[in-house]
Structure 1
Amino acid sequence: MRSPTPSSPRSKWAAMALRGARTMSWHGSAIRSPGAHEVRVAVTGATGYIGQQVVVELRRQGYRVAPLTRGGAPGKYRDMLLGDVGTLTEHFTSCQHVIHLAGQLVHDRDAGPLAYFAANVELTNEVMCAAVETGLASVVHASSRLVYPATLREPAIEDRDACPDTAYGISKRWSEDLVRHVSASSSISATSLRIAQVTGGDHPGLGVVNSFIRQAGSVGEITVNGRGEAIREIVHVTDVARAFVSALDRAGEWQAINIGGTRSVTIAEIAHLVADATQSDVDVRHVDVDDEDLSRYALDSTRARDELAWEPSWRPEDIIQEAIKGRECAS
């Protein structure tokens, strides 16, 4: 594995690793130095939206972290703290666990499952093979609420309801099956976290919450298509990060665990929560549509409470208030 040369450009990750202070700043947070204990966790997709928060939470709890991203060549990955470039096997050799977040998000609703195969299935296979080769204790894998169909009439339960009806959801279900298979045939503990709609923190601006906030700020009115009866469950990214770290302590064969919010909400309710949270009069207007969205994505997170001693702390109202304040500060 190549070590960074003195002339190599160092990212903010490497710069923080070199400070040597008892605490260090990571995206504005006070983080304990890695000397708290010797357990080291590799994180794939560490530069992503969830990945950055997972790294923060790991370091807050005293773990040493190998935050990994693509290394510029096929099969190569860069440790964003140390600058080292190598294979996953080489990076995992010094680790005890891996949190696998890297993958392809929904990018084309008309694409088939194979459009997501390389990033969501083949890469997961690469991670699991490296985990077996290096004898890791556990793998925590990022899955999605979209392994469930949009037609459920009650909150999804892990062992009952997985039956994806989107190409992306199919690819995530395939990746879950791969993780489950490797766990069953090895000594690796494995968990797939099926995550609700994530928002909060330094969100890139996607999702219905941010869409409604933009409408409220720009035109003073929020438009809801139809009755707005589609159901969503939103969870704050810091709650998600805590769930990933909590799952490191879980031992045993593969298990899927839902990571949801404090409650599910309709699209219309989200619109009214945004309107009520603004500092000016904002109307919510319903418009007729020919094909109304009636999808329902609600998760039963009982298993997360029982298995991980985890539960969400951010209510939809809190998430919306934070997003509005963040937009005001940025303007």
Structure 2
Amino acid sequence: MERVLVAGATGYLGRYVVKALKQQGYHVKVLVRSQDKLNQEGAYSSPSIYDFVDDIVIGDVTRSQTIKGVCLDVDFVFSSVGITKQKDKLTFMDVDFYGNLNLLREAERSKVQRFMYINVHGADECPSTLIKAKQRFVNELKHSSIHHIIINPTGYYSDITEFLTMARKGRVFLFGNGSNKMNPIHGADLANVCVSAFAKENSILEVGGADVYTYREMAELAFKVVSQKEKITTIPEWLVKTSLPFLRIINKKQYNLFLFLFYMMTHDVVAKSHGKVDLKSYFESVNEKGGNNV
């Protein structure tokens, strides 16, 4: 039985990956900062995973001394570690680059066979330090002695839930004219792609979901699901660009997250289609539960 270490196990994608790995016969070891969340359902209806975990290691990838030996007796490593909405003082370089680099060095010391990393599709030219940190780690991984598998998803359904949240409040805001396209993917569908990809070596996969939508179409779908009259406000790109320097002064981390979001919404982000969960069904399931974080 092959053994996989999952870092980022309590995140949206990580939960689905843990479940998929266990269901496909892997021995699953998770690296978490606290095991309290393992027995709870995650955000956006992602599953509780305690019953799918074989080994639990408590550690923090940004503190290398806490993960010594974490990759012993491990065949593969999966990492979706990265800052999303953390409120601590850690930077993107601290987590997305150095945190993953600490984990990679442990994997190298233990002679792990493969290291899978979740990056982002279509954001190579994005000036956000979030993307720069991720790309810097990707470069390290490519030059590692370990076989790399880099997964570049277009976007998660969990991220697109923000359209549903705005629609419930009565108005959806879009950057640009809303005509740019994306095919986001459900966590369960992306997890299946990831688990299947462990058979590959030194590979990069561009992964999108079942259907392609414009951002305006996603907004319209959200209004339809919540049975609200459509109210969509488009914010001109020039206005956003004018405002960005002020946000950078106020809050640099939020500035870089916002810059990434703005970039993605004003570019086409479409990759090869995978999976079968459609966005309408996902919106309906979340709406029935009455929240975006359940």
Is TM > 0.5 for Structure 1 vs Structure 2? yes
> Which of the two has greater strand per residue?
1
Matches within 5 A, 1:45-60: 45-60=8-23
Counterpart residue number, 1:273: 221
What is the TM-score when the length of structure 1 is the normalising length? 0.64
Aligned residue pairs: how many?
246
- Asked if the contact 1:224–1:284 (Cα under 8 Å) also holds between the matched residues in 2, the reply is no
* CA distance 1:255–1:288, change in 2 (3 Å): closer
SS at match of 2:290: helix
- Asked if the contact 2:156–2:186 (Cα under 8 Å) also holds between the matched residues in 1, the reply is yes
- Asked if the contact 1:41–1:95 (Cα under 8 Å) also holds between the matched residues in 2, the reply is yes
User: Of the candidates 133, 136, 141, which is equivalent to residue 117 of structure 2?
Assistant: 141
> Structure 2: which amino acid aligns with 1:126?
N
What is the TM-score when the length of structure 2 is the normalising length? 0.72
Residue 281 of structure 1 deviates from its aligned partner by 4.5
The one-character-per-residue Cα deviations of 1:96-127 (angstroms, maximum 9, x if unpaired) are 1110122223779xx9xx93112112222222
User: Of the candidates 246, 270, 273, which is equivalent to residue 299 of structure 1?
Assistant: 270
Structure of greater relative contact order (alpha carbons < 8 Å, 6+ residues apart): 2
SS at match of 2:271: coil
- Asked if the contact 1:89–1:133 (Cα under 8 Å) also holds between the matched residues in 2, the reply is no
Counterpart residue number, 1:177: 139
> Structure 2: which amino acid aligns with 1:62?
G
Residue 329 of structure 1 deviates from its aligned partner by 11
Counterpart residue number, 1:210: 161
Structure with larger Rg: 1
- Asked if the contact 1:89–1:134 (Cα under 8 Å) also holds between the matched residues in 2, the reply is no
Cα root mean square deviation, aligned: 3.2
> Structure 2: which amino acid aligns with 1:179?
L
Report the Cα distance in structure 2 between the residues aligned to 1:141 and 1:265, rounded to whole angstroms: 26
> Which of the two has greater helix per residue?
2
Residue 246 of structure 1 deviates from its aligned partner by 1.2
Report the Cα distance in structure 2 between the residues aligned to 1:42 and 1:69, rounded to whole angstroms: 11
- Asked if the contact 2:28–2:55 (Cα under 8 Å) also holds between the matched residues in 1, the reply is no
Greater shift, 40-49 or 86-95, is seen at: 86-95
Quick check: 1:283 aligned with 2:262?
no
Identity among equivalent positions (%) equals 18
Counterpart residue number, 1:156: none
Structure 2: stretches of 5+ with no match in the other structure? 36-52, 60-65, 241-261
Matches within 5 A, 1:147-296: 147-149=123-125, 164-182=126-144, 186=145, 188-199=146-157, 203=158, 207=159, 209-219=160-170, 221-224=171-174, 227-251=177-201, 254-278=202-226, 280-287=227-234, 289=236, 291=239, 295-296=266-267
Counterpart residue number, 1:29: none
